[in-house]
Structure 1
Amino acid sequence: MSAVREPGEVFGPRFTLFADVLSIGLATAVSCLPVVTIPAALSTACAVLRGAGEDRPATAGRYIALLRRRLRAGDLMAGVIVVAGVLLCAADLALARAGLPGGVFFTVAAALIGVCAALVALRACARPESLTDWPAALRAAARDAVRDTGGTALILLAVATSAFCAWMMLPLAFLVPGPMALALTAIEVRGRGKGAALQADLTR
């Protein structure tokens, strides 16, 4: 995105991007209401924001146009798997707290597995492969989660911050998907940059 303010532009491109992130966040929140559309909605938001770095418009209109082409069987199945995983994790935690032997250990283990799975899923949404191939995006995201532990920690911090903001002021929950998608996209672009730099060093 160009950093030069156009003639007659009041706020400048950075403020315009901020406004676009909020509008995309609101559109993403509405698109997530059917629940099974959550992966496609977040992935689309990341794709639109990624295009802002290539001087493509990052607007709610472009987001909606791209999302309409995303609601395929594979995208909806990804949403079903996410919902099933969340319900399974919640059921396991409920059983672990019911006084079963080894319940404390099982609770910790289930929570760690759930957090790791959520971080990989979020990284997958930011991958370009998620637009066409969810399994490939998940494989790449799992590799990124291990290789780029700093980026994974940043995602965890972004999730915690978003949850805290939504808890402090519930209406903010409808705007959280935009900044979250921006954070995921920035971390994914950062990881690509580090990978390209490492590959350049190895080929010298």
Structure 2
Amino acid sequence: MSGTGAREPGEVFGPRMTLFADMLSIGLATAVTCLPVVTAPAALSTACAVLRGAAEGQPATVGRYFTALRRRLRAGDLAAGAVALAGALLFLADLALAGAGLPGAPLFAVVAAGIGAAALVVGLRACARPESRANWPSAVREAARDAVRDVGGSALVLLAVATAGLCAWMLVPLAFLVPGPLALALAAVQARTGAVAGS
């Protein structure tokens, strides 16, 4: 029998449960890092990178997360956060206008929701791309291509967001843990996209 599933001395759970616990702790660290709002893209991108590294045998720990975040946080990351914040505020303002009863509001709301969903998918897929560590415009371009080429992956991203939102809505304290599972889902979709492209 292989020793990969064996517990280390002092380890309470097996390796799979350890990864789950690490994912939740990284989610909590990501939630705290996202509190200034403009740091959200960099925080989520770093969480994706750390969890992606777990598949390569690297430790997925909070210490590694903060080390990676400290090493990469730069003006471009804050600019990406400001653009994401401005886009979210514009989207909310558009929906508020549609809800005010303007002529053509129902059609406008549907179109705005479609554009918002597409922008959300591209933005989240950009966070999962390795290019986001150094070049956000390149990551967004590649994520937009991925979103078109891999529609199934884009649907999975929307499903992950819906699940995270539902968990946070059902039990508000879970909102501080959902960035971890969301980052894991994004990293898995990115790995899936790479495998599909490589085959």
TM-score bracket, normalised by the shorter chain, equals over 0.9
Q: TM-score, normalised by structure 2?
A: 0.95
Unmatched segments (≥5 aa) in structure 1: 198-204
For residues 41 and 16 of structure 2, what CA distance do their matches in structure 1 show? 27
Contact 1:3–1:14 (Cα < 8 Å) also in 2: no
What is the rounded CA distance, in whole Å, between the counterparts of 1:74 and 1:83 in structure 2? 14
SS class of match (2:53): helix
Structure 1 residue aligned with 2:25: 23
CA positional deviation for 1:152: 0.8
In the other structure, the counterpart of 1:143 is: 145
What residue in structure 1 maps to residue 106 of structure 2?
104
**In structure 1, what is the equivalent of residue 6 of structure 2?**
5
Name the residue aligned to 2:80.
Answer: 78
Matched, 1:129 2:131: yes
Distance 1:7 1:13 in 2: 9
* Structure-2 separation of matches of 1:19 and 1:115: 30
Where does the alignment leave 5 or more consecutive residues of structure 2 unmatched? none
Number of equivalent positions? 196
1:5, CA displacement in angstroms? 2.2
Task: Give yes or no for contact 1:119–1:152 (8 Å, CA) kept in 2.
Answer: yes
CA distance 1:66–1:7, shift in 2 (3 Å): closer
C-alpha separation between the residues in 2 aligned to 1:96 and 1:12?
51
User: Quick one: which amino acid aligns to residue 167 of structure 2?
Assistant: C
Distance in 1 (CA, whole Å) between partners of 2:6 and 2:129 is 30
For 2:81, the aligned partner's letter is G
- State the TM-score, normalizing by the size of structure 1: 0.93
State the identity %: 67
The alpha carbon displacement at 1:4 in A equals 3.5
What secondary structure does 2:166 align onto? helix
